[in-house]
Amino acid sequence: MKTLLALTVLTLTCFLKHSSAMPVAIDMVIKNVECCEAVTNKIHIPVDKVTNVTMTSDCKLKAIIVSTEAKKKFCLDPEWKHAQMHLAEFKKKSQQSGALKV
């Protein structure tokens, strides 16, 4: 009876290890990847309120992530002209200050 219980626990543990999302979570922490679940092209953010602009690369959904002074992050459609303007403006500002984050 103890052998059957031990075998059941071992089998359940192996099954949970292989079906867990933990490896994905660890991979995201190691890469420090920030991904968006959805993108928008309806939010106009004033350029003077933008503190950081990054482009997702290791995610399923491509997006331009805009961070604001209010510590909010918005996922913008990378094809949208307004989002491209933010990216270009931030690149220009970063090159002038010597620290490019994109």
Q: Is 34 helix (H, G, I), strand (E, B) or coil?
A: coil
At residue 18, the pLDDT reads 58
Q: Out of 3.40.50.620, 2.160.10.10, 2.40.50.40, 3.40.50.12780, which CATH number does the structure's domain 34-102 have?
A: 2.40.50.40
Cα–Cα–Cα angle for 71, 76, 80, nearest 5°? 140
- 57 versus 101: the higher-pLDDT residue is 57
Q: What pLDDT, in 10s, does the model give residues 34-89?
A: 788 888 888 888 888 888 888 887 888 889 898 999 999 999 998 999 888 888 88
Q: What pLDDT, in 10s, does the model give residues 8-41?
A: 877 767 665 655 544 444 444 434 457 888 888 8
Phi, psi angles (nearest 5°) of residue 26: -65, -40
65/33 Cα distance (integer angstroms) = 12
Q: Is 52 helix (H, G, I), strand (E, B) or coil?
A: strand
- Domain boundaries for CATH 2.40.50.40 within the chain: 34-102
pTM exceeds cut of 0.95: no
Q: Are 75 and 36 in contact (CB under 8 A)?
A: yes
